[in-house]
Amino acid sequence: MVSYKELGLVNTREMFAKAIKGGYAIPAFNFNNMEQLQAIIKASAETKSPVILQVSKGARNYANQTLLRYMAQGAVEYAKELGWEHPQICLHLDHGDSFELCKSCVDFGFSSVMIDASSLPYEENIALTKKVVDYAHQYDVTVEAELGVLAGVEDEVSSAVSHYTKPEEVVDFATRSGCDSLAISIGTSHGAYKFTPEQCTRDPKTGRLVPPPLAFDVLDAVMEQLPGFPIVLHGSSSVPQEYVDMINQYGGKLPDAVGIPEEQLRKAAKSAVCKINIDSDSRLAFTAAVRKVLAEKPGEFDPRKYCGPARDLMTELYKHKIINVLGSDGKAE
């Protein structure tokens, strides 16, 4: 058993309380490798933003759980080395799909876990979430749950359409499950194709897809039912068109990739939405930079020569999100 406290990590409780009060959101960035982690920590340290390092089940399998734990511990030390005196870094399991996985993460030094039982029937979602909460809370690890279904793929679970969270269920769910935060479905989805062209209109000037707005009425109704309760938005990448263009220009093929417009995320960040999940945008930045170097310098075979620029572009992306979208800069001096 390793306590996250020994690793210098924090859970989400205080982060979220401050974020709701202050009208900003905490960035939850997924990472799978060293360059992503370096970029996240550098961006957070330079902006003094609290940050959630997110690890999916797939990332855990990819990177190895032991290595990940030491990477997170190393991240705290790296942050200090960068001059961030009191880093507020949370290590969070993203989309945990079983009690066993969540328990293993708690035992392995995670400070927060998500149990995503949103594909199960309502009562089973509550029962499994409660089981994870009962275990995690013994170690002061916070628990995120999900109610409602996002369109697209959530690890092995996929759904063609999203089922918005039902506001009339949230009080019962939060009370009986004991979760610390709740991920809701208001029209976001995972990946770089959040909407089909049929769901969008097209800007006649640029030819770009313009996505439909998120269901802010559902968010408002949830907040009315659960005043001050931490709400989480998954699937919140904006799919920056400059990265999509770069990828397409240098040999990739991502036609009509589209995300959530930043102004909608800015609006959400000012509400009880206090955690905003971003993974795809980092993948796009990484891929765009790597493709550019390899296309322009086909003789290059030193990974540092293309992973370095990828890391720089991701750092820029994370800083932009923190400062211009989530508003979490300067909140962890």
Residues identified as active-site: 94
Among 48, 92, 95, 321, binds ligand G3H (CB under 6 A): 95
Any contact of residue 146 with ligand 13P (CB under 6 A)?
A: no
Asked whether the beta carbons of 105 and 113 are under 8 A apart, the reply is yes
Any contact of residue 329 with ligand G3H (CB under 6 A)?
A: no
Any contact of residue 283 with Zn ion (CB under 5 A)?
A: no
Look at residue 59 and give the partner it binds from Zn ion, ligand 13P, ligand G3H, none, a contact being a CB closer than 5 to 8 Å depending on partner kind.
ligand G3H
Look at residue 237 and give the partner it binds from ligand G3H, Zn ion, ligand 13P, none, a contact being a CB closer than 5 to 8 Å depending on partner kind.
ligand 13P
Handedness of CA 92, 262, 86, 140 (dihedral sign): negative
Pick from 187, 53, 176: which is nearest to 125 by CA?
176
- Distance CA(286)–CA(283), nearest Å, equals 5
Any contact of residue 27 with ligand 13P (CB under 6 A)?
A: no
Among 36, 56, 73, 88, binds ligand G3H (CB under 6 A): 56
Question: Could you write out the DSSP letters of every residue in 187-252?
Answer: S-BSSSB-S-GGGSEE-TTT--EEPPPP-HHHHHHHHHHSTT--EEE-S-----HHHHHHHHHTT-
DSSP state of 323: I
Min dist CB 317 to ligand 13P, Å, is 11
Kindly state the tokens that stand for 324. 């211009």
Stretch that binds ligand 13P, among 172-180, 214-222, 233-241, 284-292 (CB under 6 A): 233-241
Among 278, 285, 307, 325, binds ligand 13P (CB under 6 A): 278
Which positions lie near ligand 13P, rule CB under 6 A?
Answer: 30, 94-95, 190-191, 234-237, 277-280
